[in-house]
Structure 1
Amino acid sequence: MALAGEFEALAGRDTWVFDLDNTLYPAECDLFAEIDQRMTDFVAGFLRMEREEARALQKRYYAEHGTTLRGMMTMHGMSPEDFLAHVHEIDLSPLPHLPDLCEVIAALPGRKLVYTNGSRRHAERVTEYMKLGASFDGLFGIEDSDYTPKPTQSAYDAFCRHHDVDPARAVFFEDLERNLKPAHAMGFATVLVHSKKDWSHEPVEARPAGANDANHPHVDYLTDDLTGFLQGVLQVVRPEVIRGS
């Protein structure tokens, strides 16, 4: 794994792919808590079961199918649209406005894309709320991969086809280490965005990455400060921006 500050390997990369939740905003915002509760509510209503039973099923489907959504579609023939609309209509007020992040993403050379296992509408809401919408050239939601989630290889293939991405010229930012493995194998440079907070008390599916998750050959860079990391990248890929600031 390259050390923070050693960004020369990123020179010439001109496509910047960002996961959304717990990557573009700090994991400490804990938006997942509300999404998680709304998923339980939906499963309970759809299957007409008690909430405790629905929650256990929700977690099992996440483990077995990659997302609760995929499990519900596969096992119960659920249509995904209503599920996604329900679980992602959340209160965004915990999200910060990060003007320095907006500025540094806008300054990156080439295209900037969001790739999320959530819906495209969720990505639109979050990026607009954070005033990041104008910084991105495209958003890719789970509906764009036929509801197949990361880290399934076909989902990455669909993303690259949809946005005409050459992984050898791209950088992939994620908060889940497992989602970087296929990206690295395809040729993306990979960045694991981790949280400083102790999340050990949270369920596994709710935990953002920690520093120890970087101990894998498919993680090229590790950071707990996305804005600072990108400012360091700009010193290599666009030094004139740094000099002029």
Structure 2
Amino acid sequence: MTQAAPIGRTRDAEPADFDHVQDWVFDLDNTLYPRHTDLFSQIDKRMTAFVAELLQMEPDEAKLLQKDLYRRHGTTLRGLMEEHRVDPDAFLSFVHDIDYSWLAPDPALGEEIRRLPGRKFIFTNGDRGHAERTARMLGILDHFEDIFDIVAAGLVPKPAGETYDKFMGLHRIDGPRAAMFEDLARNLEVPARVGMRTVLVAPRNFESTLGDYWEHEGREADHIDFVTDDLATFLRRIQGA
């Protein structure tokens, strides 16, 4: 078994840092498309609307509760299931009823994902339908071996260790021969622990308008090997182009 060498984020990634990787794992939202695309804001607003209707709350109050559930449970859905016995199918159907025309095809990203050696996966806390629609709009859906969604995870979201175990077991992924790309640092802790290369996809100059501040906690942590704000360029660089 080839062990990945330790990495420091003070230098740029090189092809040698990833030449052992045979499985490439990508989060979906704010990772395969840039955060400034702001597609996820539609989902966020619909989650707030769902909470407001369910609990008969004012929108501002519902948003505060939604964010609290998200932070404490990993996803708003998990929090609603745990604390309010919400039907997950109804929630997922409602929050993913959005306008995907906000996304434009990304042929540059598609080409770099296509060129990666080995298997490629989408691993998301969203559902398969949302992942398929998003990847199809980006023009990258056909490059992936499979999509592991929140339903496949038994509705237990990242960063729960059991969810990574389920994903890796299903696809027989060897951690030291894999790499994972994520926009949330906390979701890379388990991948780092099992030996994966970890890449945080995040804006270089964080602004509060791009998300809750706590979502970006840990971006300087030791379990992050590399940080990039341009996924296509990063993939091109590590493939020696």
TM-score by length of 2: 0.90
Query: Whose helix fraction is larger, Structure 1's or Structure 2's?
Result: 1
Measured after TM superposition, the shift of residue 156 of structure 1 is 0.7
Match of 2:239 among 223, 234, 241: 234
Q: Deviations over 1:28-58 (max 9, x none)?
A: 0111211111001111222233333322221
Shift of 1:92: 1.4
Residues 97 and 216 (structure 1), Cα distance of their counterparts in 2 relative to 1, 3 Å cut: same
Residues 1:215 and 2:220 are matched in the alignment: yes
Matches of 2:70 and 2:141 in 1, distance apart?
A: 29
DSSP-derived class of the 1:112 partner: strand
1:92–1:196: structure 2 CA closer, same or farther, 3 Å change rule? farther
Q: Distance in 2 between matches of 1:230 and 1:48?
A: 46
Q: What is the RMSD computed on CA atoms of the aligned residues?
A: 1.8
**Aligned pairs for 1:16-95 within 5 A:** 16-95=24-103
* CA deviation string 1:201-245 (max 9, x = no partner): 4551796x4xx954211011111111111011111xxxxxx4xxx
Once residues 227 and 15 of structure 1 are traced to their aligned partners in structure 2, the CA distance between those partners, rounded to angstroms, is 17
Q: Which runs of 5+ in 2 are unaligned?
A: 1-7
Bigger mean CA deviation after superposition, 194-203 or 108-117: 194-203
**Match of residue 164 from structure 2:** 156
Q: Could you say what secondary structure the match of 1:85 adopts?
A: helix
Contact 2:22 2:178 in 1 (8 A): yes
For the pair 1:97 / 2:97, whether they are aligned, the reply is no
How many residues were matched structurally? 233
Change in 2 beyond 3 A, CA 1:31/1:234? same
Instruction: State the secondary structure of the residue aligned to 1:17.
Output: strand
C-alpha separation between the residues in 1 aligned to 2:107 and 2:67? 36
Alignment check: 8 A CA contact 2:22 2:119 kept: yes
Task: Tell me how far apart the structure 2 counterparts of residues 151 and 120 of structure 1 sit (CA, whole Å).
Answer: 18
Structure 1 length normalisation: TM-score?
0.89
Structure 1 residues 47-98: Cα deviation after superposition (integer angstroms, max 9, x where no partner): 2333333222212211221111001000111110110111112111221211
Q: Are residues 206 and 135 of structure 1, via their aligned partners in 2, closer, same or farther at CA, if it must alter by over 3 Å? A: farther
**Structure-to-structure mapping, 1:80-159, within 5 angstroms:** 80-159=88-167
Structure 1 range deviating more: 19-28 or 95-104 = 95-104
SS at match of 1:113: strand
Distance (whole Å) between structure 2 residues aligned to residue 58 and residue 131 of structure 1: 32
* Runs of 5+ consecutive residues of structure 1 not aligned to the other structure: 236-241
